[in-house]
Amino acid sequence: MDMRTSINADAIAVEKRWCAQNYKPLPVVITRAEGAWMWDGDGKRYLDMMAAYSAVNTGHGHPRILAALTDQVSKVAVISRAFHSDKLGPFLERLCRLTGLDGACPMNTGAEAVETAIKAARRWAYRVKGVAADQAEILVADGNFHGRTTTIVGFSSEPAYRDGFGPFAGGFRIVPFGDAAAMEAAITPNTAAILVEPIQGEAGIIVPPDGYLRRLRDICDRHNVLLILDEIQSGLGRTGHWFAHQHDGIRPDGLCLGKALGGGVMPVSAFVARRDVIDMFGPGSHGSTFGGSPLAAAVGLAALDTIADEGLVERSATLGAHMLSRLRAIRSPAITAVRGRGLWVGVEIDPSIASARHVCELLMRQGVLSKETHDTTIRFAPPLVIDHADLDWALDRFADTLSHLTNR
């Protein structure tokens, strides 16, 4: 073992010794990244086909975002919301105009944005809709992934996310994803909101039937129920529109955003909503020390401007259609399904041939980094700045890997 390989092994060993084992990363140590590429301690280069679960839509170390970060941190980074800043207003105005909604509550992580949405929906149900105290219900979808807090995992349908973490909060009902009729049948006078992902990411890039969101929008309008969409992964250009719900031509009542909102350099999230929903929050009802800090606002605004000015939404649509076409053209018995939208595709692997984890490990050796989900699906979600040639190179490596795996 040479010195550099030993350094990498030591880094993995130290992390395993001191870090909670709540992740199972691939055995690679990333020490540097730029654009769509990353390097390990040996200097080996890898193409990032994961983009940190869509947190790095603008690429690693984008100069414009780094400039905004360094400029702001040299002035003032965190003052909490105890005082005003000159950055928060312009950032949230930009975000609200982009979404077509009326106001926003800034937070840090995606899970916090979802928790914020839950609180807003419940209070709206009591104060606006007239639901009796503590009786509000929120309908969610089977296969959902909205975060890891105890409230959120309590309404997950994935046993591993729930095991050993109860008791859980009530007030949620799980309905099959993609079935608008079932969602409508589950509504009662106590229903405050429907909370869904337009495309389920962690479940394996599950795309619902065409018109699903339009039907949910109509159902919510008829029953006086809020439609809240979790676009933490699917938003900000990932699917070839600014937001995945725009494929169905609708507008939600509330929108959870995060990941790419932080420009790949820090956690920034927000719950954005129509006026009567966002106005449910008054002083003391909700908050965050770091949420909406001058640094977060400056970075968030730079991330939005970068996506817009560099045409990354349009790039995602064009390259995404190409990626989807190429993946669907691969004739391999290892592939049982290909699904996705924009630069966000899940490839289902036949478990009788290989696990998705094994395929990801083989890809890693070829210089392509991605990550499996639910043992059978490989996710391809590169930074939206990826070059066409680099994308084709990664897809070639994937096709070659499957060919060697199945001897075809």
Residue positions annotated with a catalytic role: 145, 230, 259
Position 376, amino acid: T
From the list 7, 1, 42, 8, the residue with the least C-alpha distance to 26 is 8
Query: Is the CB of residue 238 less than 8 Å from the CB of residue 342?
Result: yes
User: CB neighbours of 313 closer than 8 A, spacing ≥ 6?
Assistant: 237, 240, 241, 242, 307, 384
Listed in sequence order, the DSSP H helices in 243-338 are: 275-278, 294-309, 312-329
Count of alpha carbons within 13 angstroms of residue 295, beta-carbon side:
18
Sign of CA dihedral 278, 281, 286, 287: positive
User: CB neighbours of 275 closer than 8 A, spacing ≥ 6?
Assistant: 102, 103
Q: Whole-angstrom Cα distance, residue 122 to residue 137? A: 8
First to last CA, the chain: 34
Q: Whole-angstrom Cα distance, residue 358 to residue 98? A: 40
DSSP-based three-state secondary structure for 368:
strand
Q: Whole-angstrom Cα distance, residue 277 to residue 217? A: 16
E strands, 91-225, are 103-107, 137-141, 172-175, 191-196
Count of alpha carbons within 13 angstroms of residue 212, beta-carbon side:
22
Query: Is the CB of residue 202 less than 8 Å from the CB of residue 375?
Result: no
- Cα angle: 369, vertex 373, 374; to 5 degrees: 150
Q: Whole-angstrom Cα distance, residue 246 to residue 163? A: 36
Query: Is the CB of residue 356 less than 8 Å from the CB of residue 373?
Result: yes
Residue found under tokens 């509330």: 254
